[in-house]
Amino acid sequence: MPAGIIDTPIHTDEGQPLCIHNDWFESGWSIVMPLHQAMWTVMLLSTATARGLRGDLDAVAVEVFGDDPRRAPRGLGGRGLESPLAWLDAEAVAAAVSAQEAARMTADAQTDREWCEAALHAVGLPAPSTVRDLAAVMERLGIARCEDGRWTMPEGLPRPEDVLPLPEELVGRIQRLRRVQAVAPAERALLDYATHRLGRPAQFKTSLQRLEQATGFSTGKLRDTLDHLVTDTGEIQLYRGRPPVTVAAKDLTGHSCFVIAVDWARFDGDRYQVVRPV
């Protein structure tokens, strides 16, 4: 399988496995483009690349999804490649807890669309209106390429802010997403250690060297992860000394002892809110 492409557990209705580029989410394109349709489109392109499928977009779409547009994944749209782009998640809006939340979702979707279309126009690309148009834009942006019927994708996808003039707010969202994803593996290992090996204590004494042995992650990665849990999520605090005073993760040496205090109520509440089914 080509570098950068990974299998996913998602299958078509016919049971065929799909693939997705492992840089798709970290790159930030999922924030810039229509969420669901962009993901399914890049899965189509990733699968064509990984499986060595040959032919134009229509040919590989038939091989991956079948020849009946109505059997294409729901996230792609009911008309297959001709499905209109949906910037607004209608199901999420319908499930909104209030009219105000639904209005905010609608306004945010319209803003995202305007930002994307303005950026594309600025570099001479048309705003996509269908999934087919979206795939063509992805090709023009270097996310995928088809030469002589052979599909390829670069090992590392181009970064949206490097190829499009995006608003600062959107670039900030992308950078925050990358920060979260960069520390996610070490974060899971830390939380697994605190939960299953320590029994979810309110606080525990440790060191970076001890955490390195427990999780398998370097002290540098652990510092970044602890800093994220302190400054970005507020789910832990770090203390040293007697009486205890707060300490920054960047100031911890490998052998110095410190205390991690965990706000489990905040952690459980925050994580419950952000987990959504695919």
Interval 200-257: pLDDT, tens: 999 999 999 999 999 999 999 999 999 999 998 899 999 998 899 999 999 999 999 9
Percent of the chain with pLDDT over 90: 71
SS3 260: strand
More confident residue, 99 or 68: 99
Let me know: does 223 contact 249? Beta carbons within 8 Å.
Answer: yes
At a CB cut-off of 8 Å and minimum separation 6, what does 56 contact? Answer: 146, 149
Mean pLDDT across 139-152: 94
- The CA distance from 157 to 172, in Å, is 18
Closest CA to 245 of 262, 264, 258: 258
* Domain boundaries of the chain, sorted by first residue: 5-165, 176-274
Lowest mean pLDDT among 15-19, 192-196, 259-263: 15-19
Let me know: does 186 contact 217? Beta carbons within 8 Å.
Answer: yes
pLDDT at 278: 30
* Topology of domain 176-274, CATH: Arc Repressor Mutant, subunit A (1.10.10)
DSSP E strand boundaries for the chain: 5-11, 17-21, 145-147, 150-152, 203-207, 236-240, 245-246, 257-262
More confident residue, 20 or 14: 20
Closest CA to 156 of 165, 143, 171: 143
- The CA distance from 208 to 222, in Å, is 7
- The CA distance from 119 to 127, in Å, is 9
**198-202: long-range contacts, CB 8 A cutoff, minimum separation 24:** 200/262, 200/264, 201/262, 202/261, 202/262, 202/264
pLDDT at 161: 97
- Asked, as a colleague might, if the bond just before 243 is cis with ω within 30 of 0, I would say yes
Between the alpha carbon of residue 202 and those of residues 209, 249, 267, the distances in Å are 21, 19, 12
pLDDT at 263: 94
Q: What is the CA radius of gyration of the chain?
A: 22
φ and ψ at residue 49, rounded to 5 degrees: -70, -50
What secondary structure letter does DSSP report for 74? T
pLDDT band at 116 (very low <50, low <70, confident <90, very high): very high
pLDDT in tens, 164-184: 999 999 999 999 889 888 899
- For residue 45, the tally of other CB atoms under 10 A from its CB is 28
- The CA distance from 29 to 164, in Å, is 11
SS3 264: helix
pTM over 0.95: no
φ and ψ at residue 258, rounded to 5 degrees: -155, 170
pLDDT at 252: 93
